[in-house]
Structure 1
Amino acid sequence: MVQFVDGPVRVSVPATSANLGPGFDSLGLALSLRDELEAEVLPDGLVVEVEGAGADGVPRDESHLVVRSMRAAFELMGGQPPGLRLTCHNVIPHARGLGSSSAAIVAGVVLARGLVAGGQLLASDEALFDLAADLEGHPDNVAPAFYGGFVISGREDGHWYAVRAGVDPRVTAVVFVPPTGVETTVARGLLPDAVPHADAAANSGRAALLVAALNGQPEHLLAATRDWLHQDQREPAMPETLALVRRLRAEGVPAVVSGAGPTVLALGPADTADLLARCPRGWTPHRLSIDVDGARVS
């Protein structure tokens, strides 16, 4: 029978940027913008408290994404608690391409494990990551949210894999967040079912170059972030985003659509102050570091 711990468990989970240009559904980077969550077992009922980013638009019942993820993890470990209290302090913007849903899923599965006595034995990191990626449907945001850093992820033999790679300390990250969002389902709906072989081959080469560029040769980041598969295709849903990406790249800045957009991610080495000054009116810039920790529990 599953035993639950006394007292609250706290977790913080980083924002993430996926794709990074050519690494569609396979490359992701954790960034130093963190949601903080707390959960504890109650005698009965469900209490969900949310403040910060997206607080006005998320449910306070069993349909809340963190709660659903917790329930799935509890099921994996063999039992549900009698009641739950969940408190979310959200910083990651919603529907902006910075991994807010992946952060919620990772937070949920990690919180659930923390609330179960001996949870590490009942659900390994690999099992929790597998569950989180199943819940999200693809691993490119979940992997860096869970493990931190720069992660290459995918699916093999019925399971998800995640491999961390190094990031040169000279690489900086600046994100430009627009005032309105785009739902991932809308952005994905614009992608074609097939692409020319030449485009796929070009993207494969740039994705491989991006791993090398981030891992010690950042002078190649501009070429390495060139994409043929998904960014231009999403322009109807986010024309201002693509205009900013093209403007920055024309000025020599390695800029990409962050995840499904509409946030723009610019990677260094670059003069950060100069980059921040290029933020469009009405958008919000953030200078961020690469987060190497992933989900943290206390």
Structure 2
Amino acid sequence: MPGPAIPIGRSVHVRVPATTANLGPGFDTLGLALSLYDEVDATVSATPGVRVEVHGVGADGAVPTDASNLVASVVLDVLARKGVEVPGLDLVARNAIPHGRGLGSSGAAIVAGIMVAKGLLEGVAELGPAELLAIATELEGHPDNVAPALFGGLTIAWLEPRGPQHKKLNVHRGVSPVVFVPAHTVPTKLARSLQPAQVPHEDAVFNVSRSALLIAALIQSPELLLSATEDKLHQDYRASAMPDTSALVRLLRGSGFPAVVSGAGPSVLVLCERPSDRLLAADLVAAQSAVAWQPLMLAVDFKGATVTPMGAQSAAS
């Protein structure tokens, strides 16, 4: 017997935020959703095959436009997990998240594919929050980016025998992120390869204290952010792969700004205590950095990934 079917013509719109992981001391654990978005329109087609139209980041041919596209491959993977096939799939991707810059672009693509599948499967098969996170973590390899991309806000993510878990926290309204994005990229695999298998006991204790302090600073006491974003577990080890990033972090922190490497870099995140501090940080970087950086004045995204129906054939999500 054929499996459940998705109506031809069903369309959904998905929006996924950029994310920044680690936040200094919270290596592979803490993540924050930011107000910069990739968007995807997906339609089930009677025409066989997968077609992807790319706008924005990746429109220069860097992103595949067939079934090998990451968003498309994840959609098909999730549908297959639910025993569902579609004759054809048309995607229109509008990408704003820079690739290879430490802003969770691969995690966003994975979450986008999962959310497209969730929307298309409405009324056909269920995908609950725990399963969404489990699939996203399996495909991405770790939950620190996909958890905030899915659920928004500040997330603490961890692994248990029953699967990946997360806790979402609301961020103090004064916390104002600015991300400095360079023109060059650094592969995440390269950055991770520089991480040692063991670290000194005192460094581990240092980061435990700062991670605990960072939670308090982000949700209650932003004035503590400079101390709370200190790290001894990963940023110094990776500095050789991104000397410009390391220099910018030192410049900003030396002037009192809570600057950290965004994810695996090379972008730099500053978690300002108040919105006006972002302009001061941008002025400092423009005046004193030898490298050109694009400042992105962002907010914390509290919603996470969303999926909404499009067209008469789509069921409500």
TM, length-normalised to structure 1: 0.97
Match of 2:5 among 3, 6, 12: 3
Q: Secondary structure at the match of 2:67?
A: coil
Identity of aligned residues (%): 50
- The equivalent of 2:67 in structure 1 is 62
Q: Which amino acid aligns with 2:203?
A: D
Task: Return the offset for 1:101.
Answer: 0.5
Distance 2:32 2:181 in 1: 16
- The residue number in structure 2 matching 1:27 is 30
- Which residue, out of 114, 126, 142, partners 2:119? 114
Gaps of 5+ in 1: none
Q: Which runs of 5+ in 2 are unaligned?
A: 309-317
Matched, 1:274 2:280: yes
| Offset of residue 57 of structure 1 | 1.1
1:89 to 94, 97, 122: 94
Q: 1:212 aligns with which of 211, 216, 226?
A: 216
**CA drift at 1:160:** 0.4
State the Cα deviation string for residues 86-129 of structure 1 (Å, max 9, x = none). 1110000000000000110000000011112425x521121011
For the residue of structure 2 that corresponds to 1:140, the secondary structure is coil
Deviation at 1:16, TM superposition (A): 0.4
Amino acid at match of 2:30: L
Q: Specify the code of the residue in structure 1 equivalent to 2:306.
A: R
How far off its partner does 1:62 sit? 2.1
Q: Tell me the equivalent position of 1:229.
A: 233
* Within-5 A mapping of 1:105-254: 105-118=110-123, 121-254=125-258
**Equivalent-residue separation in structure 1 for 2:41 and 2:97 (angstroms):** 16
- Does the aligned pair in 1 maintain the 2:51–2:67 contact within 8 Å? no
Q: Distance in 2 between matches of 1:245 and 1:54?
A: 28
Distance 2:104 2:137 in 1: 13
TM-score normalised per structure 2: 0.91
Structure 1 distance, partners of 2:81, 2:166, is: 20
Question: Which is further off, 56-65 or 230-239?
Answer: 56-65
CA drift at 1:221: 0.6
Supply the AA of the counterpart residue of 2:247: A
Deviation at 1:61, TM superposition (A): 2.2
**Alignment length (residue pairs):** 297
Task: Output the CA distance in 2 between the equivalents of 1:2 and 1:179.
Answer: 46
Deviation string 1:226-264 (CA, Å, 9 cap, x unpaired) is: 011110111111100010001111111100000000000
Residues 195, 234 of structure 2: 8 Å contact kept: yes
Alpha-carbon shift at residue 52 of structure 1 (Å): 0.9
2:102 corresponds to which letter in structure 1? G
Larger radius of gyration: 2
RMSD: 1.2
The alpha-carbon deviation at position 186 of structure 1 amounts to: 0.9
**Preserved CA contact (<8 Å) 1:18 1:140:** yes
Q: Select the residue among 70, 76, 79 that pairs with 1:71.
A: 76
Distance in 1 (alpha carbons) for counterparts of 2:65 and 2:281? 39
Distance 2:298 2:200 in 1: 35
Secondary structure of residue in 2 paired with 1:278: helix
